[in-house]
Amino acid sequence: MSSVTPETATRWWPTEEEKQILRDSLFRLIPRSDEAAEAFYQRLFLEHPSVRPLFPQSMDEQQQKMVLTLASMVDYLDDPETFRRECIELGRRHVGYGAQPAHYPVVGQILLEEFGKWQVPPMTEREISLWQLLYGLVSEQMIAAA
């Protein structure tokens, strides 16, 4: 999986067709989003145990928040100003949790890989590419806000 750089993300904003592709992909994930979120965090903590202290002991609420945030970001693509404002607020909150810029690429890679596995059918290359761009755009703005 290739990584999105901030330079790539800043030049991209999804077309209407790309927004619909992201929505369709997200809708395929929703029925299995609980399992996908749990798998994401299990893998994140297994591969990067140093981030575990940044999260609450019980992950149920955190898993739900993460899926809702992801869905919100897709919804906010129809309103760029709200999208930007929500990314900034999210970035500021994450500073308080102890998130560091180096965490974002790791989280993004694992998130997209795990969520891609739980979609039926699995994500296409185009969907993966669009999710990478979206994650790059969100994380770039979060880091800038921090």
How far is 8 from 10, CA to CA, in rounded Å?
6
Digit-coded pLDDT (tens) for 89-145: 999 999 999 999 999 999 999 999 999 899 999 899 999 999 999 999 999 999 999
How far is 132 from 144, CA to CA, in rounded Å?
18
* pTM score above 0.85: yes
Digit-coded pLDDT (tens) for 7-43: 444 579 999 999 999 999 999 999 999 999 999 999 9
Digit-coded pLDDT (tens) for 113-125: 999 899 999 899 9
- Fold of the CATH domain 6-145: Globin-like (1.10.490)
Query: In the chain, where are the structural domains located?
Result: 6-145
Q: Select from 37, 143, 132 the least CA-distant residue to 90.
A: 143
How far is 91 from 101, CA to CA, in rounded Å?
10
